[in-house]
Structure 1
């Protein structure tokens, strides 16, 4: 894998900040046939569920070294559990609807406008994959390469939730006057529920690539073809069951960025504390992606004494298709009322108790039994698609023709590379939207955009240890598929707002400039890179209004009216420390840090806000020590707080808090062919926090605890 921090004209459309060129293995470059086998076992802290990971790779070649192959297979099982507190929406009190408006609180106070919940998410993932790659050197001029990759992943989700609907008419609120934050919410006869969501998803990916290389001395031609198909489907419908709690009181108490209490007045370990089944719902989803590409890469190279140059030309035809289908079905209110009375047949204890360090008073509750639909023989078939199903199903496709030219000149210590990529793309988005008269209508929009993307790269090797590099390039980044769905989706809870897709979204254009300095010596390598990105047609969210079914909604829709500016630097050092003793012979320290001096977005309405999803500071420190027999390493990662999402509907943006993680690893070479490895991930058991932030206050929105993960592995070669 190669990472390009700036755009390269030879690579297709990619990210603005960096492109990643995934490279396959090269079977003919291996020295001899070999086989490696790896066996790993992982477990979450405090859990007796051991998850195996088995991998095998082998390479072989013919006696004349004309035909070679690489084969890899792997099996992995992984259990992930998250304990979390979450609230879906917070907003300023002055904008809350009557159900969530607190008359006794100041207008600027942030109040919850949707559920408050404790959640246990269990994900059991099983993945099998296989790769086969063959190379055939027909003669000195012709080589054929073929690759086939297949992976199959099963996901089983089981989510348990205890939720409160924080309606102001049912409760009282206390505010910390120094910070303007709610510190306590108490409710009488609270509207609360216990719920369970189960699903089984399957994701498959199949990729085939064929490449021929014709080497004609100065000229080299490489025609290629690639086909990739990925499908994600619900093997078993996603089922949701909600059970209302019996009338009672509740208390939620915040303590900074933690939960002090999430407490009910009646014991939730008793069946009589629950009232009735309030919802039974199923959902089917199917996502299909297909990419077909073919083209030609060519290279001409010549050398003349100390001067060298080469030219590359290429062509690519690409078709991408994304289909998303969703269908929901629910038990009607009359059918829910006709269900047998709630008793012990409906509920069961939590399989794993809620256990998280961010809450001091851990509650206990009962959850609906697994697959109540089958247990009580409740028929809930999928039939005709509803209005919601049609609005949330869509198809997006891209068809592009691209070509590129790049040329390189090398003279003494100076090297120039100049290129350009031409991209002509046709996009089409097909979906369903609400018409002017209120009914549904099919909507298809087709658009075409053409861009020339230049790139310039200059490198100066001023001495044996110092190198300067400067680049200027343009790159395109296509919009997300889901944003191009022409749907109109009305929010069902909290403040009244709707989301509308925009099939007319254009790609984002990034213009990047970098300047780097590298120093390489016997024991140290140091690099400093300064970068600046100017982003045109940046996708931002706009707010309009809509009258729908007699109610006025704020409608959120994305468009290309933004302008982004990103400036910063990244620096790294790798230092080979001197040997301390015979035991501590190999000592290596590496570190890198990235700071964004500016990462802002401007709109045509003179708005200015932080770029979403980007931290101002990111860093990593890795230390490795040991000798030829054993090695120990620690890896410390840090990133500062960043804006995750501008919540235009609630006037409270969502920020992810600063996060630090520590991983430890120990490797022991028992012999040249056999080694043992022990790893601890998230050693300090850090939690991930999200905050709702407004002009005058912030409130805890979500906190997640993943736990420590331990892994023991064996690896041997044959």
Structure 2
């Protein structure tokens, strides 16, 4: 069935349902403007803690005087209510009245006839005593100078109320600082660590598993995934958060205990995002934001603009919202690199060095990397809500990220003939320093232009009738990453000369890269050594359908039954074409001065680089690649190209059933028991070289599996101040798309033949999970959460190596296998402390250990600590955030190449917001303030050897926002 037909069928169903849904006028007991009914399951609590939960649930502001509500307790209540009716039930035995205002609800003391209410008079004279106790997540908020602290306290209250183990962030906190990067805005949540690229938040890891093992949803649907085209890497299933603008998001929930009603594709967490919608704003709104952004090492003129316009009908039944954003960023990254440390003699041999000593496999380089990123995005949302019983929502999102990337590099080839080292130093079995009399040096230029586009369209209908709530939603999503301009690589070589390098061993080494003298490409004898082009196109397209039904019972102990079916169909295609000019073609081209460009890389790697590099570098110019590579035809595919390309058709079908119950004796207990049936089928097609054959062989592989996935979530109120949460579940993660490819990539060096490829027979990874969390809020200024978790993983994918015959020659093949079963366990703590009326400290930490065998997972630190100090008072808000991550496994390599690790990271940011008026806000944000290089290393013979240094300078952004 085509995608168009899906939408036609759904539209017909919506019209049919709408024709039977009554449009009921509000009774006299309701008040004009009340929000639609919501299902609630609220524990006994205090009114102070309950109001933020209700404000978030009903998406509106609730205002009350702190002294009025501080001593009021509320009973447990379940059912479906409009907000006004629910508040009447909760406050029926109190002396509090409910009043509707334009921006929400006000709770105030009741006034008896003929009696002057002294408290009311006092409030008029001291209006600052009125404070917002609940922050709605709508984009239409008034001048909220307490966005961060309200988000922290509201998040903790929501965490207390939910049966799931989760963390959340609302819109007011998301847009409080001028960053446009979505990962950076919710990276302070406990249990989450951010993987950054050029200083930008890119993907997230959660408590023991990496980015590919998380489920990312937008309005309940799985999103398509973009690739990393720049250096030919693939993200698999890891969602790139840099392609989705933060301005289009209403709220984010990070659910750490697997949910049976969410499509299975992750063993880590479900990252559920909700988009902004017009009816939550309840009135017309125009918002415009402009600013500039700059980097310490890059350019400082990077403009940014964002706008939003919403329209709501007078009867609050129709709403339209459009938003658009555009911003640029110029980034410079300084890079010192060594390549593939292997045993001496494996790919080449250095005289005098032991055969077992690890040496950098033929390259050491210094590189200036520049990237210009242009982001453009638009979103559209339509809502029709003729009554509180029916709503129709349509959403469309489009974003485009265009990257202009340039690498300018000088590299030394240690495998130069007769390049025996002298004055060399071996530490921890590695050649950490050496001098050479004669080494070939090359200057290189890599350029490319990539476009990453995302498009998602959604249509959904919700029906509330009596005790039933029905949801039907369909989505079409696509992500395309491609080279708009080819990845072009050219190198110019000079005559050999003396060269030395020094790593000194250890993570704190000050490295040195020292040619003597530094070459001059125009004056010295130079020739064109290499020219190649590459094109890549990756598309990820899919259609999904979600249907859910919920029945509120409130009879005996059973509160709610819910069940549903979800389905998605995805098509993944990856195509790569390579071209390299042969030696004869290069020899026919006369070297000209126009092939050389000069650059001035000031302050290269700051204080972490010992070598005094020249202030002016000479590197190949773009005219060189245009001269040689202009006739590259990416429609012609070689055997190697076909081996790297593949297509995957994936179908995922699921069904779930869940029951929610509550027990009041001997203590309040909420229990959720669910069961999910999951079916996964993949059809992989591609080409691989076969034994003794030098022609491509087409291969197809079909895999289908089904699973039963139970889950239990329990919430126990130990006292008025403390509660306990328990979760046990069985979850899945599907194999990475790149790991499923059937092809092989062959690399032949002197005497060594290497092969790498995927494995289309991989099966999903299974995880059995147990979590226990304790939450305490016994002090009005302190909230504490502490928990432990255990994951037993089976069939985890790891790189395994074996020797096979290809073309009648032995090759060392590295490919992924479901080869590891192991356990990870850890603990997580979170504390919020109100130091004063204006100051809040939030701290969280996660500690992870391995059980069974020594096991590492890529991009997951052993521990992580975060601290946020927030000051918010009147019109001024300020925040300082520190994020420290332990060392982690960055890339797992096959033998004999050591794994690459990333050393401890420290990330410091600061934000400042000043409200000039209720409608005008000025913001200032500074990121990466420590401006320290990332240090990559490997471990060998009981020690650590530095492998790479990367440095992106501090980033500063200023912004001015206006609301009308």
- The match for 2:514 is 263
Measure the CA separation in 2 of the matches of 1:173 and 1:431.
48
Deviation, 1:556, is 0.6
Q: Counterpart in 1 of 2:821?
A: 563
Whether 2:844 is the aligned partner of 1:592: answer: yes
| Secondary structure of 2:958's aligned partner | strand
Alignment pair present for 1:519 and 2:776: yes
Query: Does the C-alpha gap of structure 1 residues 599 and 209 become closer, same or farther in structure 2, counting only changes over 3 Å?
Result: farther
Q: RMSD over aligned Cα, in angstroms?
A: 2.1
Q: 1:663 aligns with which of 906, 909, 916?
A: 909
Q: Are 2:645 and 1:393 equivalent residues in the alignment?
A: yes
CA distance in 1, matches of 2:632, 2:277: 53
Distance across 2 between alignment mates of 1:249 and 1:126: 42
Q: 2: CA distance between counterparts of 1:89 and 1:388?
A: 22
Unmatched runs of 5 consecutive residues or more in structure 1: 580-585, 603-607
Change (3 A) 1:379 1:25: closer
Q: How many angstroms apart in 2 are the aligned matches of 1:132 and 1:611?
A: 39
2:833 equivalent to 1:538: no
2:758 pairs with 1:501: yes
> Residue by residue, what CA displacement relative to the aligned partner does 1:488-516 show, whole Å, maximum 9, x if unpaired?
11235586421121000111111110000
Matched, 1:277 2:277: no
Mapped partners of 2:536, 2:422: distance in 1: 40
Q: Does 1:110 align with 2:361?
A: no
Measure the CA separation in 2 of the matches of 1:115 and 1:178. 19
Q: Distance in 2 between matches of 1:260 and 1:691?
A: 13
How far is the alpha carbon of 1:111 from its aligned partner?
1.2
Q: Which residue of 2 aligns with 1:582?
A: none
2:332 is aligned, of 81, 87, 94, to 81
Higher-helix-fraction structure: 2
Cα drift, residue 351 of structure 1 = 5.5
Between the aligned partners of 1:396 and 1:25, the Cα distance in structure 2 is 33
Aligned pairs for 1:678-689 (under 5 A) are 678-689=924-935
Query: 1:98 deviation in Å?
Result: 6.0
Residue aligned with 2:276, SS: coil
Does the CA-based 8 Å contact 1:636-1:663 persist in structure 2? yes
| In structure 2, distance between residues paired with 1:199 and 1:488 | 25
Match of 2:288 in 1: 37
Quickly say closer, same or farther: Cα 1:599–1:497, change in 2 above 3 A: farther
Classify 1:17/1:706 alpha carbon distance in 2 versus 1 (closer, same or farther; 3 Å).
same
Tell me the TM-score normalised to structure 1 length.
Answer: 0.94
Q: Counterpart of 1:610?
A: 856
Measured in 1, the distance between the counterparts of 2:511 and 2:802 equals 39
Measure the CA separation in 2 of the matches of 1:317 and 1:380.
42
Contact 1:646 1:654 in 2 (8 A): yes
Distance 1:335 1:624 in 2: 63
State the Cα deviation string for residues 559-594 of structure 1 (Å, max 9, x = none): 112112110000000111124xxxxxx110000000
CA positional deviation for 1:309: 0.7
Q: CA-to-partner distance for each residue in 1:407-465, whole Å, 9 max, x for gaps?
A: 10123311000001111111011111011222320111001010011100010122221
Using the alignment, how far apart are the partners of 1:570 and 1:459 within structure 2? 18
**Structure with the larger strand share:** 1
Which of 465, 474, 482 matches 1:233?
482
Post-superposition offset of 1:287: 0.8
Contact 2:845 2:864 in 1 (8 A): yes
2:573 aligned with 1:323: yes
- Picking from 941, 944, 956, the partner of 1:695 is 941
Q: Is the Cα–Cα contact under 8 Å of residues 181 and 698 in structure 1 kept in the other structure? A: no
1:637 correspondence with 2:889? no
Q: Does 2:661 align with 1:409? A: yes
* 2:689 counterpart of 1:434: yes
Which one of 48, 57, 69 corresponds to residue 320 of structure 2? 69
Aligned to 1:716: 962
Q: Deviations over 1:29-79 (max 9, x none)?
A: 224222222212111115444111111123221011101123221101011
Task: Kindly indicate whether the alpha-carbon contact (under 8 Å) linking 2:690 and 2:807 is maintained by their aligned counterparts in 1.
Answer: no
Name the structure 2 match of 1:677.
923
Aligned mates of 1:347, 1:25 — CA distance in 2: 50
Match of 1:463 among 719, 724, 727: 719
The answer to whether the aligner puts 1:191 opposite 2:447 as a matched pair is: no
Range moving further from structure 2, 420-429 or 351-360: 351-360
Deviation for aligned residue 1:143: 1.2
Match of 2:950 among 665, 690, 704: 704
The within-5 A match list for 1:68-147 is: 68-93=319-344, 96-97=345-346, 99=348, 101-147=349-395
What is the DSSP-based 3-state SS (H/G/I as helix, E as strand, rest coil) of the residue aligned with 1:190?
Answer: strand
Residue 372 of structure 1: SS of its match in structure 2?
helix
**Count of aligned pairs between the two proteins:** 701
* 1-structure distance, mates of 2:437, 2:291: 51
What aligned pairs does 1:154-233 form with structure 2 within 5 A after superposition?
A: 154-167=402-415, 169-176=418-425, 179-233=428-482
CA gap 1:297/1:361 in 2 versus in 1, 3 angstroms: same
Question: Which stretch shows the higher mean deviation, 629-638 or 506-515?
Answer: 629-638
Deviations, residues 638-669 of structure 1 (Å, cap 9, x unaligned):
01111223322225221111111111222212
Q: Which runs of 4 or more aligned residues in structure 1 lie more than 6 Å from their structure 2 counterparts after TM superposition?
A: none
Measure how far apart 1:612 and its partner are: 3.0
Which of 13-22 and 193-202 deviates more? 13-22
- Structure 1's 484 and 371: CA in aligned 2 closer, same or farther, altered over 3 A? farther
Does the 8 Å CA contact 1:205/1:230 hold for their aligned counterparts? yes
How far, CA to CA, are the matches of 2:484 and 2:435 in structure 1? 42
2:426–2:433 contact (8 Å) kept in structure 1: no
1:346 equivalent in structure 2: 595
SS at match of 1:335: helix
Instruction: Provide the rounded CA distance (Å) in 1 between the counterparts of 2:362 and 2:355.
Output: 18
Structure 1 residue 388: deviation in Å?
1.1
Checking the alignment, whether the CA contact within 8 Å between 2:352 and 2:420 is kept in structure 1 is: no
Q: Deviations over 1:391-413 (max 9, x none)?
A: 11111121121111111012331
Matched with 2:496 is: 247
Query: What are structure 2's unaligned runs of at least 5 residues?
Result: 1-251
Alpha carbons 2:533, 2:629 under 8 Å: kept: no
Does the CA-based 8 Å contact 2:692-2:807 persist in structure 1?
Answer: no
Q: How far apart, in 1, do the equivalents of 2:904 and 2:748 lie?
A: 31
Q: What SS is found at the alignment partner of 1:273? A: coil
**Partner of 2:587 in structure 1?**
337
Question: 2:430·2:940 contact (CA, 8 Å) conserved in 1?
Answer: no
Match of 1:360 in 2: 610
TM-score with structure 2 setting the length: 0.70
Name the SS of the counterpart of 2:275 in structure 1: coil
Q: 1:150 maps to which residue?
A: 398
1:458 and 1:128, CA in 2 relative to 1: closer, same or farther beyond 3 A? same
Larger mean Cα displacement after TM superposition, 53-62 or 541-550: 541-550
Secondary structure at the aligned position of 1:506 is classed as coil
CA offsets 1:127-179 (integer angstroms, 9 cap, x no match):
11011111101334221111011112211101111111222741315454665
Check conservation: 2:722, 2:774, Cα contact below 8 A.
Answer: yes
Contact 1:173 1:182 in 2 (8 A): no
Provide the rounded CA distance (Å) in 1 between the counterparts of 2:612 and 2:911. Answer: 33
Classify 1:98/1:313 alpha carbon distance in 2 versus 1 (closer, same or farther; 3 Å): closer
Looking at structure 1, the residues matched to 402 and 627 of structure 2 have their Cα atoms a distance apart, in angstroms, of: 24
Looking at structure 2, the residues matched to 717 and 461 of structure 1 have their Cα atoms a distance apart, in angstroms, of 43
Q: Which moved more, 1:689-698 or 1:195-204?
A: 689-698
Deviation at 1:377, TM superposition (A): 8.6
SS of the counterpart of 1:28?
A: helix
Task: Establish whether residue 578 from structure 1 lines up as the match of residue 803 from structure 2.
Answer: no
**Contact 1:174–1:182 (Cα < 8 Å) also in 2:** no
Query: Alignment partner of 2:692: what SS?
Result: coil
State the distance in 2 between where 1:444 and 1:46 align.
49
